[in-house]
Amino acid sequence: MADQEQPTKNEGGETGGEQSDNHLNIKVNYEGNEVFFKIKKTTPLKKLMEIFCKRQGVNQDQMRFVFDGNRLTGTETAEQLDMDDQDTIDVLVQQTGGF
Amino acid sequence: MTKPSWLDQRYERTFFDSQTLFYDDVIRLRGKEWLNDSIINYYLLYLENVKYEQQKDDLLFLSPSVTFWIMQVKEKEDVADAINPLNPTQKDLIFIPINDNSDETGEVSGGSHWSLVVYNRKEDTFNYYDSSGDYNYGSAVKTVAKIAHFLNPKYDYGTMSIKINKISCSQQQNGYDCGVYLLSFCDVLGNAEHVKNVSPRDINCLREDILKKIQQGVGAT
């Protein structure tokens, strides 16, 4: 399971032609930096969100993931959202405070 | 943190035609969670459009996203474009939520503290209300420097020397309630009540009260 959502080092272009029907390469755009993920179409995006935040060292509570103008809750799958290969998810910072 | 039975992971509802709340926004109202910009904005919209609807011509509650945007843009014209459509020069009391994330270092973070600046046109004063000492005072000075000119043209754009009065107000006793204090201060000031009288109990009640309003769909569109 866990190895399905590994970020892939990919400079655009070729995504390694062996891509199966069940997987998509998705870009995650955060402050102009793009990180590529190979994801399973049927896995809730929550997992991608968690891994992304972990890798970037950012607090997931402070991030919003947006696809096609809609905010993602994490329960959605790529299939439900009709995502295509190379589609982009944008990550925005939300403002919080408590202290 | 117990989850209200009506709130599930897929919760999504739009209020006042402009603010969509999701599960992970709303759940912050339960227990010891920090509030985010969406919840802050929901309650400010409620104050403006419901509770203080009669005073709509006099009161202006700036959305946290507007203050955030103003702090990100560099050009005076861009600040003007963001704030002038709200007719700030027509309003007597202008509520400006302050977050400490607006650093000019380019380092974007979500911030850690909310506080409040209010411009009072009749007295021509900027007052600063912070439930945690003067933690956000530096951010307040920077925000006022960018906004003041558009509230009252007598202030030069970008001047950091505008006098901002630190007002003695109720202090939070914990590390998570500042957003609720900000909202409570907005509420009592709208009513011309005193910010010293906000008690920890009021703060807990306000959390529940906001949650209840969301549940009831107050302002839902």
Tell me if chain A has a CB within 8 Å of the CB of B178.
yes
Chain center to CA of B107:
22
Indicate the residue of B9, B38, B177 with minimum beta-carbon distance to A98.
B177
Give the 3-state secondary structure of residue A56: helix
Interstrand relation of B125-129 and B114-120 (parallel, antiparallel or unpaired): antiparallel
User: In angstroms, what separates the C-alpha of A55 from chain B's closest C-alpha?
Assistant: 16
pLDDT digits (tens, 9 = 90+) for B93-103: 999 999 998 55
Indicate the residue of A59, A71, A98 with minimum beta-carbon distance to B179.
A98
Cα-only R_g, chain A: 13
**Is it the case that residue B219 has pLDDT exceeding 70?**
yes
Lowest mean pLDDT among A18-22, B9-13, B62-66, B174-178: A18-22
Inter-CA distances, B5 with B21, B27, B115, B216, B218, Å: 17, 11, 32, 13, 18
Tell me if chain B has a CB within 8 Å of the CB of A98.
yes
A chain contacts of residue B33, beta-carbon cutoff 8 Å: 98
Contact A97 B9 (CB under 8 A): no
- List the alpha helices (DSSP H) in chain B: 23-26, 37-46, 64-72, 76-83, 137-151, 178-190, 200-216
Tell me if chain B has a CB within 8 Å of the CB of A33.
no
pLDDT winner (highest mean) among A58-62, A90-94, B65-69, B206-210:
B206-210
User: In angstroms, what separates the C-alpha of B85 from chain A's closest C-alpha?
Assistant: 23
Contact B34 A93 (CB under 8 A): no
User: In angstroms, what separates the C-alpha of B36 from chain A's closest C-alpha?
Assistant: 4
Please report the pLDDT score of residue B38 as a whole number: 96
User: In angstroms, what separates the C-alpha of A19 from chain B's closest C-alpha?
Assistant: 31
Whose structure tokens read 């001047």? B159
B chain contacts of residue A49, beta-carbon cutoff 8 Å: none
A chain contacts of residue B177, beta-carbon cutoff 8 Å: 98
Residue A32 is classified by DSSP as T
Please report the pLDDT score of residue A15 as a whole number: 44
Please report the pLDDT score of residue B134 as a whole number: 94
Please report the pLDDT score of residue A2 as a whole number: 42
- What is the Cα–Cα distance from B179 to A94, expressed in whole angstroms? 14
Lowest mean pLDDT among A16-20, A87-91, B105-109, B165-169: A16-20
Domains annotated for chain B, with CATH where assigned, are 5-216 (3.40.395.10)
User: In angstroms, what separates the C-alpha of B215 from chain A's closest C-alpha?
Assistant: 19
Indicate the residue of B99, B108, B111 with minimum beta-carbon distance to A31.
B108
Its pTM stands at 0.85
B chain contacts of residue A61, beta-carbon cutoff 8 Å: 24, 34, 110
For range B28-39, the mean pLDDT: 94
User: In angstroms, what separates the C-alpha of B143 from chain A's closest C-alpha?
Assistant: 15
**Is it the case that residue B108 has pLDDT exceeding 80?**
no
Contact B22 A71 (CB under 8 A): yes
B chain contacts of residue A73, beta-carbon cutoff 8 Å: 9-10, 12, 22-24
- What is the Cα–Cα distance from A18 to B75, expressed in whole angstroms? 48
Please report the pLDDT score of residue B199 as a whole number: 95
Contact B176 A99 (CB under 8 A): yes
DSSP bridge pairs for B165: B127
Please report the pLDDT score of residue A21 as a whole number: 78
Strand (E) or helix (H) holding B97: strand B93-99
Please report the pLDDT score of residue A1 as a whole number: 42
Give me the tens of pLDDT residue by residue for chain A, a chain 99 residues long: 444 555 555 444 444 444 567 999 999 999 888 999 999 999 999 999 999 999 988 888 889 999 998 899 899 999 999 999 999 999 998 888 988
Please report the pLDDT score of residue A11 as a whole number: 44
